[in-house]
Amino acid sequence: MRRFADAARSGVRRARDAGARAILLLVHGPNGKASYANAAAVAALAGAGSLWEPLEAREAFGDAIEPVQTLGIAEVGGEFAESTAEWIEATAAGLRLARDLAGTEPERMAPPRFAEYVQAAFRGTKVKVTVQKDVKKLQREYPLLMAVARASLGVPRHRPCVVRLEYVPKGKVVRTVLLAGKGLTYDTGGADLKTDGHMAGMSRDKGGAAAVAGLVLAAAKLALPGVRVVAELGVVRNSIGSDAFVSDEIIASHAGCRVRIGTTDADGRLVLADLLSHLRLDAAQAEGPHLFSVATLTGHSGRAVGPYNIALDNGPARAFATAETLMQIGDLVGDPFEVSRLRREDFDFVQPRSKADDTLSCNNLPSSGTARGHQFPMAFLCLASGLVKHGTDSAVPLPFTHIDIGGSGCEGGDWQHGRPSGRPLVTMLATLFGALPPA
């Protein structure tokens, strides 16, 4: 499927560079092979995405930077239906929002401006957008998130916020999807400062929140029935300064878990833990809930599996085979997943070393040099968010799937210059909402 996408990108860009302003993308059909049934839709999405130029460029040069006005799709040996075109238009809009949010430099997309951009994107939709930016309320309700943000508070334009999105479909709600998105608009590493050039590209550490925002936008544009969506985006800058939080601090999470900080560079999991704790309370009262976290969380994910999304399930999510389903559908829509497993060693890794705390956030080595470096953070998320109390044997089991896009968030794994991919939006849209391209 990705070969179709590669060919479409190459062809559409070549036509644009040759001066075309209206392009017809001709896709040879699957010849009856079910595994290629979505080939034309995948090619169309890739062709449309290839025309995206960074927000900074569009704001500097205007519409001329994206000269193509029309992209048409035709399928040889098949029929490219209008309903498929509508699906592509909505999905492409979600991907465009995700790329804009993830790929834009840290001042243009500092937390308050990130929130403003999201609000503008959802204007006129059925999605309710609220932005919590009151420092005292955030300190009370999101204590781990605010520890990460502490050194940023002295600079008003860098102050954090939590963006909450809610989509309620018409008719009966049968399932509720609850999404936590990591939105580190810049990650210096904090007091455990990133050195040796590793800070470059850290404006893309907001790719999880960006993908979640794009997913909600696509779902709302398609007016998908039956599924309520609640998302919280933790939009924070991890700055370095005299008030920065430091390793060895013990901070109680929103769920009341006492977290000992192992390194301040493991910031995303702190943000996600508080978001998930809030969503956990929503989920306990929701119809058919399933929680997800989406984050550029670890370098280990890219080292372990290369340019693929990784999904890990807790016990209740495994009962639904969620990670495996993401993998299967990802192959069909050209947005592939690998599956990892949460193991007892992961909980052992973050167990407290004394009675002063309940869990350790991380060791003080890079994840890429740590055994099970992308798996054990999920164990921390379960503990710090309180989701560990909602396992298979609990009175209120809550399915939770953690998605690490540390290897897939930027094309070619180039965090400084690579194009943001918008992943895993397409697979999540198709899986969670049954929203494969219409046949």
- Is 194 labeled as catalytic in the residue annotation? yes
What are the tens digits of pLDDT across the range 278-325? 999 999 999 999 999 999 999 999 999 999 999 999 999 999 999 999
Tell me, yes or no, whether 29 and 138 share the same domain. Answer: no
Mean pLDDT for the stretch of residues 382-407:
97
- Are residues 174 and 300 located together in one domain of the fold? yes
Mean pLDDT value across the chain: 96
Statement: residue 408 has pLDDT above 80 = yes
pLDDT tens, residue by residue, 178-211: 999 999 999 999 999 999 999 999 999 999 999 9
Residues 195, 241 within the same domain? yes
The CATH number given to whatever domain includes residue 109 is 3.40.630.10
Share of the chain above pLDDT 70, in %: 99
pLDDT of residue 368: 80
**Same structural domain for residues 119 and 65?**
no
pLDDT at 439: 54
Q: Domain range spanning residue 157? A: 105-432
Q: What is the mean pLDDT of residues 72-95?
A: 90
Residue 110 and residue 22 share a domain:
no
User: According to the model, what pLDDT value does residue 47 have?
Assistant: 97
The pLDDT score that the predictor gives to residue 190 is 96
Prediction pTM value: 0.97
Instruction: Please report whether residue 139 resides in a domain.
Output: yes
> Annotated catalytic residue: which of 96, 269, 280, 423?
269
Same domain as 272, residue 189? yes
So what's the pLDDT on residue 33? Answer: 82
Total domain count for the chain?
A: 2
Which member of 194, 237, 260, 280 is catalytic?
194
Q: How confident is the model at residue 435 (pLDDT cuts 50, 70, 90)?
A: low
- Does the pLDDT at position 29 exceed 90? no
For residue 269, indicate whether it is catalytic.
yes
Q: What is the pLDDT of residues 108-152, one digit of tens each?
A: 999 999 999 999 999 999 999 999 999 999 999 999 999 999 999
Q: Averaged over 398-414, what is the pLDDT?
A: 96
Q: Is residue 318 located within the same domain as residue 225? A: yes
What phi, psi does 131 have (nearest 5°)?
-125, 120
What pLDDT is stored for residue 258 in this prediction?
Answer: 98
